[in-house]
Amino acid sequence: MKLFNTLSRQTEELATIKPGEVSLYSCGPTVYNYYHIGNLRNAVFNDTLRRTLEAAGLKVRHTMNITDVGHLTSDADEGEDKLETGAAREGKSVWDVAAHYTEAFKNDMAAMNVLPPIPTNRPNIMIATPELPNSLTNKSPWSKSCSKKFCLSNQTGHLL
């Protein structure tokens, strides 16, 4: 199987680390609002890739993050946390907003017949790291890690 390698900018033969196995990571939603059709394109693409790899006889371990903290409203790593903005908009806690939109995302994926990622049972980062919410300030070392490029959060049973 040949795929386009964005690093080399060339079409290359797929080389796996373990013979017959592929690990596929895909970036999931930031769960502060409903997924829209533009977001869904990413999920459909990753599902198509996964199914193609499986049809080629490869064992695929697909994992996906769901960001429930630290995704700022600006792509320039500035602004408010999207979950805090969603919580203020809806008059709910960030936990309630994240839970609601995580469930909505899962339902949308099922309705579109997108295969779910392989569960890994790792904890939500906000639960596993209770000091993290208080450290998410513009002055903290975490603040630069909390961006679109570096998703921090893992939802139980769904992610890396």
Structurally, the chain folds into a number of domains equal to: 1
Between strands 59-67 and 10-13, the pairing is: unpaired
At 69-106, the pLDDT tens digits run 655 555 555 667 777 888 889 899 888 888 899 899 98
Give the CATH number of the domain where residue 76 resides: 3.40.50.620
Q: What is the pTM of this model?
A: 0.68
Q: Containing domain of residue 20, as a range?
A: 2-135
Distance CA 6, CA 10 (A): 7
- Residue 160: partners with Cβ closer than 8 Å, 6 or more residues away: 25, 63, 64, 65, 120, 122, 154
pLDDT at residue 58 in the model: 95
At 36-62, the pLDDT tens digits run 888 889 899 999 999 999 999 999 999
At 109-145, the pLDDT tens digits run 999 999 988 765 554 544 444 444 444 444 444 444 4
Q: 């002055």: which residue's tokens?
A: 139
pLDDT at residue 153 in the model: 39
Q: For residue 153, tell me if it sits in a domain.
A: no
Helix, strand, coil shares of the chain as percentages rounded to 5?
A: 35, 20, 45
pLDDT at residue 147 in the model: 38
